[in-house]
Amino acid sequence: MLYSQLVKEYLYFIQIEKGLSSNTFKAYSRDLSSFALFLNTDVQVESVDIHTVEDYILQLSEFISARSINQHISALKQMFKYAVQHDIISDDIFLDFKFPKLPHHLPQVLSIAEMQKLLDEMAHYDDVHSVAELALLEVLYASGARVSEACALTPSSIKDFGDYKVLQVVGKGNKERIIPLNTRAVTALEKYLDVSRPVLLKRCKIRPSDAIFLNRRGQQLSRQSSWQIVKDWCAKIIERNDITPHTFRHSFATHLLEGGADIRSVQELLGHVSINTTQIYTHISREHLRQVYDEAFPRK
């Protein structure tokens, strides 16, 4: 079987049989297509060996991180496992394959001062688009939501919980979690829903979206557009060109821990299945404590 045929069959399998989310499906499709580009020509699956994969990793390492490489290889590994299980090939070339070790990079965060400056200065802009974009950034920071989760929010995701509002977020594995919203985020969100969103909806020339956050054409905001919004505002106000929506999630977790929140609560708010995933933020918090110690302790 040709590699292109295997990819087509496998993608159909994971979409129909496994029912993966659209984002996961797109990621698999992208990574498997990347290997096809590396091969440069359509080849028989049986002719692909582990040395081909090692050469592929070597090429990828010039452009992307070890973590991203592992994602590419994981997609290939699962597809070749499928090929063995369905008698397309006889041997699994990944059976004894070892993934490259990942470097332990700490996630990037904005300082509290940077975050406050960014959001406070954005609030001075009162046009339709700025009001919409401030609401998005306030929600990303106040909730720690993944950008895909924020883009999927609908008005029904906002719940009244006594005298405050919460977000009902649907995360990985369709698991729901409830996240309280602070006053600033609620104010920005309500202003957007009352003032800007109706204007954006009128621009939509197709069926209106139920999503809270809309783009300038009145359609559901995409992850890519969200990234651009974050990058543009951060470059403009705090002169940072390296910030993404995920930086807001990292900052949310780090600032909570620095403010005294316990790690189990932060785990719940982030929607992490394992406490080990949340543990990385304690390293950053310890860095904060060291700085406080260095600045405050009298004996230098």
Q: 148: exposed, middle or buried (C-beta count within 10 Å: 0-12, 13-18, 19+)?
A: middle
Given 81, 172, 231, 288, the catalytic residue: 172
Per the annotation, the verdict on 146 as an active-site residue is yes
The question of whether 28 is a catalytic residue gets the answer: no
Residue from 10, 56, 192, 281 carrying the catalytic annotation: 281
Report d(CA 38, CA 102) in Å as an integer: 23
Catalytic annotation present for 172: yes
Annotated catalytic residue: which of 72, 77, 146, 177?
Answer: 146
Tokens coding 113: 């001062």
Find where tokens 């369709």 sit: 174
- The yes-or-no answer on residue 184 being catalytic is no
281 is catalytic: yes
Which of 177, 197, 249, 250 does the annotation list as catalytic? 249
* Long-range contacts from 266-274, C-beta under 8 angstroms, 24+ separation: 268/177, 269/143, 269/144, 269/177, 269/179, 270/144, 271/169, 271/171, 271/172, 271/175, 271/177
- Is-catalytic flag, 249? yes
- List the catalytic residues: 146, 172, 246, 249, 272, 281
